[in-house]
Amino acid sequence: MTTRNETIENETPENETDWLTDTPDEANVEYWLSMVVDSTHLQDIDLTREEFIELKKAIARIRGLEVPEDAEKSENKSNEGARAKLLKIIDDLDPKDYERLAALGDAIMNNRGSITPAEDFIDSIALRYAQGLREGNGITPATIQNYLEEFRDDFEMAVQATRRMRRNYPELVGAKKG
């Protein structure tokens, strides 16, 4: 019998280590480790990006793969460039615009996907805008329309879920029974 572990090891050629030096750092990326049995998540561990990178290197070592010396350095280069650009923007920004920048940061930091539809909408547009700047293909009304439709659907589902939570778990959400 072939176990899942044997399959994973066989699917990773020894010379293929791109996954060690390429860890997305987009605003909507979540890093986690999960144990799933029969489609049921038994254990989920949220990770920081740094923990995720270190875990990938440890897995590579366990699998007998060579970990490139510059694996961590290449990850930090893009972060350093983006951080420097952000600090320059803050320095050049009119102080009256700080509140908007702070609100964008709040949306990015509090985005939890469809359960936070406004934050997800704002973050998705900002992410797509950044991608357009990087790749040279700007954002279009059609793109915004797609995000807006998703926002409407997610917002309605979040409202329904909130009502359900208030009805089924009033003591947890501070709702009055009745």
Instruction: Please write the tens of the pLDDT for every residue from 82-109.
Output: 888 889 999 999 999 999 999 999 999 9
List the structure tokens of 107.
């949306």
Q: What is the pLDDT of residue 73?
A: 57
126 or 82, higher pLDDT: 126
Residue 47 has pLDDT above 90, yes or no: no
Question: What does the alpha-carbon distance between residue 63 and residue 75 come to, in Å, rounded to a whole number?
Answer: 21
β-bridge partners, 36: 41
47 burial type by CB count under 10 A (0-12 exposed, 13-18 middle, 19+ buried): middle
CB 97 within 8 A of CB 46: no
Q: What is the pLDDT of residue 14?
A: 47
Q: What is the pLDDT of residue 169?
A: 92
**Farthest CA pair distance, the chain:** 65
DSSP H helical ranges for the chain: 4-11, 18-21, 49-62, 71-92, 98-109, 117-135, 141-168, 170-173
Highest-pLDDT range among 33-42, 43-52, 115-124 = 115-124
Q: What is the pLDDT of residue 28?
A: 63
